[in-house]
Each structure stands twice: as structure tokens, then as C-alpha cells.
Amino acid sequence: MREWLKRQRRELRLLPQYFSLVFTRWQALLWGASLLAVTWGLWFIVGAPPTWVNWAVVLFALFMAGFYVWREDHVRLLPQFDVEEFHRQRTPTSDLAGRPTGESVYVQLLPKCLTEANVEECRGILTSIDRWNGLNTEWETIESEAMFLQWSHGDEKTGHLPITLYPEAENRLNILYIHSSDQKIRPCATPFPLRFQSLFDGTPWATFAYRFNIRLTAKDCAPVAVSLTVQTGNDPLNPSIELSEPDSDEGQQ
């Protein structure tokens, strides 16, 4: 009984705030510039509405006030963007003097706007990394600290900052890269933890698979969570890649 009462108190602690919001909306509908308020007001001026009409208007305004309060939070949680594709981007690299040093292969996520509206303050977060070595039956979590990921064409200082996604012109999110010089997986986390250098320094042909769990967030949007599985092989610059929902084995090659 005591636990039930505590749970009820937690669930109802925001009830005063809800009543305040509904009351504000209700007053705006009754006395503001809404069509309902104008029509009702004109009727009062030119005539005397029956009592049942007054009650109907008051109750209807109360119902609509509750709807608008619910709608404000519901719309905020509707999906505004999604991630269903990844991309391999090869790019040449050079030193400070401009001399070629090889090439990097970036693995990128391609977020997609679902509406014609811009998606503001979008940010990619690496939430964890799992590893599977071919011998274990389950994935082993080797990194559990959340880190910001870099957007494509962003530098190390500003590349992780939130951006705006424009419909039909969305930016790509860098998840990791592999350079031809050392052929090691390097997550595009900012700042880059030094522990990652030893975490991924196994031999290039090792039968390791890594699962990068990623969460994309944006202003007034429902977050999107995906998992990107990368498995090295005899060709380290061309690993096997699979995109799936978290804790799902389905994806794409």
C-alpha cells in the first residue's frame, strides 16, 4: 500500500502544472481571438444565447484546451527524421606540407528528414561499443561512456556541435574511419580518447566484429537509435558493415 501511494504521488506531482496549462488554454479559447470566442462574443452582443449553448461552449473549450496541451507534447515526440542508410566515403590524406599520406575510408550515417521542415540542433552521440571475437556467444561491451560524434566536413573543434538538417540536403554523420597507413578502426568521437588506440589495435585480419550503438537527437524531435556493426577481414579498408536497430540482427550490407 505504501509503495502504491508513493508511486501515485510521483505520477501526480505534475498535476498542478497540467491544470495551470489547461486553464490558460481554456481562457484563451473563451476570451481570446479564436473563432469560438469571437462567435460567442458576437452572440452575446446581438442576443442572449440559451443556457445550454453557454454550457456547451464552456465544455467544448475545456475539451479543446486539454487537446492542445496534449498535442504540444505529442507533436514534439513525433519522428521528424530517420536513419536507414550508411555510406563509405574514401578521401585522400596529406601531411601539413601537402604531401600525400594515403587515404581514409569513412563510414557515415545518412539521416533523412521525414517532413519539409528543418530539423534543428541535430547531434550524433556514440552511446556504447560492443565487441564479438567469433568465440563468444554474446556481445561484450568494451565502451559504455557516451561521446559526441563528428559531422562530415567538420573539424575536430566544431565538428561535434549541433547542426540543422535541411530536407533533401542533409549532412552525413561520421561514425568511424580506417586509414591506409595503419588499417585500424578509429571512431570519430570528440574528443578522441587515447584508450581507443589500444582498444582497436588488434591485427587487421582478426575476426573481430564491433557494434557501435548510436543515438541521434534534435530539438522538438523524437530521438533515433541505430546500431552499426563493422567486421574486419583480409581487406581492412573494405570491412563488412551492417546497419540495424539496437539489439536487432537485421540490417543491410
- Select from 182, 187, 106 the least CA-distant residue to 149: 187
CA atoms within 13 A on the CB side of 156: 4
- Is 197 found in the same domain as 159? yes
Same-domain check for residues 152 and 34: no
Strand 119-132, strand 209-217: pairing:
antiparallel
Task: Report, as an integer, the average pLDDT of 142-155.
Answer: 92
Residues 105 and 67 both lie in one domain: no
**Is 60 exceeded by the pLDDT of residue 251?**
no
The gap from C-alpha 182 to its chain's centroid, in whole angstroms, comes to: 32
Q: For all residues of the chain together, what is the average pLDDT?
A: 82
Q: Which stretch of 10-14, 178-182, 237-241 has the lowest confidence by average pLDDT?
A: 10-14
What predicted TM-score, i.e. pTM, was given to this entire model? 0.70
Residue bearing the bigger pLDDT, 19 or 97: 97
Q: How many domains does the chain have?
A: 2
Last residue of a domain, one of 76, 92, 127: 76
Residue-wise pLDDT tens digits, 31-54: 666 666 667 666 666 667 777 777
Query: 27 and 36 in contact (C-beta within 8 Å)?
Result: no
Choose one of 52, 76, 100: the last residue of a domain: 76
**Whether residue 88 sits in one domain with residue 59:** no
Q: Is residue 249 part of a domain?
A: no
Residue 114 lies in a domain: yes
Q: Please give the angle made by the CA atoms of 77, 82 and 87, to the nearest 5 degrees.
A: 155
Same domain (yes/no): 53, 157: no
Length of the chain: 253
In this structure, are 221 and 113 located in the same domain? yes
d(CA 253, CA 30): 57
In this prediction, residue 52 carries a pLDDT of 72
24 and 99 in a common domain: no
Q: Has residue 88 been placed in a domain?
A: yes
222-249 per-position pLDDT tens digit: 899 999 999 877 788 888 999 998 875 4
51-76 and 35-46 helices, crossing angle to 10°: 170
Domain assignment present for residue 253? The answer is no
Q: Sort 202 into a burial class: Cβ within 10 Å, 0-12 / 13-18 / 19+.
A: middle
Q: Decide if 224 contacts 82 (C-beta within 8 A).
A: yes
Give the rounded distance of the alpha carbon of 221 from its chain centre: 8
Q: Which domain range does residue 214 map to? A: 81-244
CA 219 – CA 159 distance, rounded (Å): 18
Domain boundary among 17, 42, 76: 76
Comparing 164 with 5, which gets the higher pLDDT? 164
Give yes or no: residues 93 and 211 share one domain: yes
Domain holding 178: CATH number? 2.60.40
Is residue 133 domain-shared with residue 233, that is, in the same domain? yes
131 and 51 housed in the same domain: no
